[in-house]
Chain A
Amino acid sequence: MSRESILHRVRTALGRLEGEAIADPPDVRLSVPAMEREARIAGVRRAVEALAGKTHRAANAEKARTLVSDMLAGRSAVASNAPFLAECGIPNLPGVAGGFPDGAVLREACASAAVGITSADYALADTGTLVLLSSREEARMISLLPPAHIAVVPAGRILTGLDELFTVLPLPARSTSSMVMITGPSRTGDIEMTLVRGVHGPGELTVIVVG
């Protein structure tokens, strides 16, 4: 085991003693600008669309359900256990599978579904980023395995940006073992710097802001 020898080398090189206290790290100034609700919504939509994602606005849960239904147009889908999706009645739409209690069954469903539907814990207005915390309500694979991802996000969950995220969630590890930030559809430029969408994750991303 090299633990002690590596730590010893580090301490010797830095001239530090084992367990020696340290000063606090330099402050990071997190700035949260004042931003109206409508500006936040507009920001998310602009940023997602700039990345070739699609966005919609639904006035209420009922309208969100209709939007999702139209969008699916008969395609098979997997919905997460997010209470907000249930509130919208999305898991009950025809062709939508949901209520998965465990990973193995969910994985099979996600591997064959055309669309994955999730909510989001937060969205960031400046970059159009969706923030999803893994839990019994949100699985990781629904936003990852199917070729298309629809996120249905309450307007009240939109933050101004990364600084506000780390202000409201200074320690994500307290809430989850996995937080993922999704900014636009999966993409690559690995061959001749040519942009190709959907190389491993979903190539289509749709954000529906509700409220």
Chain B
Amino acid sequence: MSLEFDRKIHAALTNRKQQLAIFSATGKMKEGREAATAASVLPDYQELRTQANALKKHTIDHLDFYLEEFERNVEAAGGKVIWAKDATEVADFVLSLARERDARLIVKSKSMTSEEVDLNERLEHHGLEAVETDLGEYIIQLAGERPFHIVGPALHKDRYDVADIFEKRLGIGRETVIENQAAIARARLRQKFLAADIGMSGANFLVADSGAVVIVENEGNARLATTAPRIHVTVAGIEKVIPRAQDLAVFLKLLARSATGQAFSVYTSFLNGPRRPGEIDGPEEFYVVLLDNGRTRLLPDRGKRQSLYCIRCGACLNTCPVYRRIGGHSYPWVYAGPIGAILTPQFLGTAHEPALPFASSLCGACAEVCPVKIDIPRILLELRSEVRKSEAREKRGALRTRAEKLAFRAFAWMATHPRVYALAAPIGVALMPGWLRERFGLSEPPARTFRQLWSRR
């Protein structure tokens, strides 16, 4: 375990106020999910999960086909698709677009994919203003933090924390009433929406047969970000594609119920291309950036490929006894909880934090609540085995150079020929104390060998 991981966990476990906040927020979402997926409310819940899993499996198994279909349909509608292999390519595209269109202000709706590539930092570094507009995201952007939870990015902050942040960053008087805090954000952000040159969003789904970006939200900030500015840019992982518009009849019934316990989120936007002739409002330019950023690394293994089925509902976080203790900021990357424990090692490599797949009790609660039936515990086990194998490889790899290997082979021969050994050992020890010390951490060898001492006894 890295010292940093250990330190963050310790900090989370000893922060009593935060412990309470996590427990209460995840508890509410957990209960909401249970109520909204109960057999009395949604009799075909299990059938929907099975269908969602089959649809995701089919799409990911034929991902190239659906990505190309999606691209064709976006372009037929007058939009443009950009393919980005990593964070730099996403930032480069947005920066060059902003330069060409003389854009300064970007309003953003909540997107984990954008967090993944540190887009805000990159844009701000080049003098652009990028403003998060989801209330929770706005709070943590002002606080300079990462999202604590996929669905509730600021669930670790209470009204007094928010009052401190607003006071300090917005230069306003102290306001501790939650309704008023929301009104302050609404008023501030409304100005940004109306002045922004570019609106950026993520996507919950990309619909291949329609060339559509589907965004699910409760506040209306994603609608504003994709309606008010002249240009709309979506950044989405390549795994977000689904075949047909009607597949949404399966996914939309599961997403909000699994995330917050709502039957349906307040706003679901189905956006395909820029405004058409005759339409009164909407963006004039429409871009979709398809991001790889490590996703193709997950495809070769049939078992682990299912990690890409995730629809980012956060249900596994809310139910996980580990997440509910250590919280979102203990995890080494933007994705927290059980899904983070399988995505991070696969996107960034197990060496990024070898202890991560072990930070689980394997209780299986995550797999039970997953709306697309990702077998998270099984993937955790496979990742554990990978970590162990690579550790073993590293030990073998400890014999680094050819010379070293040769030396050890010579030593093996000597050690099995006692007469040669008796002659050579004192010479070897005398010649190589520096090497033995550096390479194996051995202290200075004694003046006489064991054999010499024995023979004089």
Contacts and interface: CB of A to CB of B under 8 A. Distances in A.
B178 A192 contact: yes
Contacts of A33: none
A136 B280 CA distance: 6
A190 B139 contact: yes
Contact of A107 (B194, B249, B252): B194
A58 to B, nearest CB: 25
A14 B305 CA distance: 10
B408 interface: no
Interface string B163-191: 00000000000000011011001100110
A60 interface: no
A198 to B, nearest CB: 7
A100 B70 CA distance: 33
B374 interface: no
Q: Contact size class for A?
A: 35 or more
A11 B62 CA distance: 8
B290 A6 contact: yes
A3 to B, nearest CB: 4
A190 B135 contact: yes
Contact of A166 (B77, B219, B246, B299): B246
A191 B266 contact: no
Q: Contact size class for B?
A: 35 or more
Contacts of B153: 190
A92 interface: no
Contacts of A144: 220, 223-224, 227
Interface stretch (B115-123, B205-213, B428-436, B441-449): B205-213
B271 A178 contact: yes
Contacts of B83: 1-3, 6-7
Contacts of B146: none
A188 B62 contact: no
B249 A166 contact: yes
Interface string B222-237: 0110011000000000
- Closest 6 interchain pairs by CB? A201-B220, A13-B299, A190-B136, A200-B220, A103-B281, A173-B210
11 contacts: A6-B85, A103-B275, A126-B263, A144-B220, A170-B245, A172-B210, A180-B270, A186-B266, A191-B162, A193-B155, A199-B186
Interface of B: 21, 24-25, 28-29, 51, 54-55, 58-59, 61-65, 67-68, 73, 77, 83-85, 89, 133-136, 139, 152-155, 157-159, 162, 178-179, 181-182, 185-186, 189-190, 194, 207, 209-212, 218-221, 223-224, 227-228, 238, 243-250, 252-253, 260, 262-276, 278-282, 286, 290, 292, 296, 299-300
